[in-house]
Amino acid sequence: MNTWQIFVSLLSIVAVSAKSAEKNTRIEAIAYVTGTSTATGNVTFIQNGCGENVHVRVYITGLTPGKHGFHVHEKGDLTNGCLSLGGHFNPDKMDHGGRSDEVRHVGDLGNIEANADGVVDTTFSDHLISLTGPRTIIGRGLVIHDNVDDLGKTTHPDSKKTGNAGGRAACGVIGVNPNYPPLPCTPSLSQQSPAPPQQPPHSSYQPTFYVPHDKPKDHVVYPLLSSPSYPYTHVGYPPSYPYHYPQPYHYQPSYPYFY
């Protein structure tokens, strides 16, 4: 096997390893939801990689026909049933909105609709929730509300807070599927936020040296006196252009330095 064949083989191994690592970044979570009535079912969340959309599969039975607000809530506490799950998951401190709105809670997942038999069987994707990082929904509550979510579009006092979706018909806690546990995500260079601008460190003025070029063979270096910092008080600032080149102070050094 020549060097080129070895190189191609190594590239193939690296490509397969990268593909395998990419597959291993899949994360899956599930919530088993129940209610005070007959509502029961499962909601599955799948994220195929860091920064990817989360795919949601909802299958719930026993709901009243029609639309129901569907939200991730901030707490995973069921000690007092659905009432102890807190408010909508809203780490960005935004107003309530719809799933496709720019202004919304992270936990605002819009409405799900039960058919005439009270069954919801639907899938959708969301770009804002995540199964890893600061917006992870793992360990938080999931609530199906009694009424339709108005998506923050009405004048009701609760519209911008909860969507006026009414009581909590069913709920559960979002837990990790142990077969697809969350892995630490390192963002790529394109995903990393640029570093904030830094204040330049203070440094004292350094002497400037003037090398005259009017005589081709003259390469004497003359030090200039340190000048004051901008803006100058004796000239307009900024100076008009063309700006005169600074001239050395008139003196004759005892030992000119040549280079």
Residue in 26, 104, 140, 168 annotated catalytic:
168
Catalytic residue flag (residue 71): yes
Which of 26, 68, 96, 140 is labelled catalytic?
Answer: 96
Which residue is catalytic, options 68, 104, 108, 126?
A: 108
Of 49, 50, 52, 47, the closest CA to residue 28 belongs to: 47
| 15: helix, strand or coil | helix
Q: Of 68, 71, 99, 104, which is the active-site residue? A: 71
Nearest to 183 by CA among 19, 23, 16, 14: 23
Pull the structure tokens for residue 82: 């659905």
Q: Which listed residue (88, 99, 104, 140) is catalytic?
A: 88
Active site residue 145: yes
Could you give the 3-state DSSP secondary structure of residue 68? strand
Select which of 105, 126, 140, 149 is catalytic. Answer: 105
Q: Which of 26, 68, 140, 145 is catalytic?
A: 145
Contact at 8 Å (CB) between 85 and 76?
yes
Mode of pairing for the β-strands spanning 168-176 and 209-210: unpaired
Active site residue 73: yes
Active site residue 108: yes
Catalytic site residue from 26, 73, 99, 104? 73
Catalytic positions are: 71, 73, 88, 96, 105, 108, 145, 168
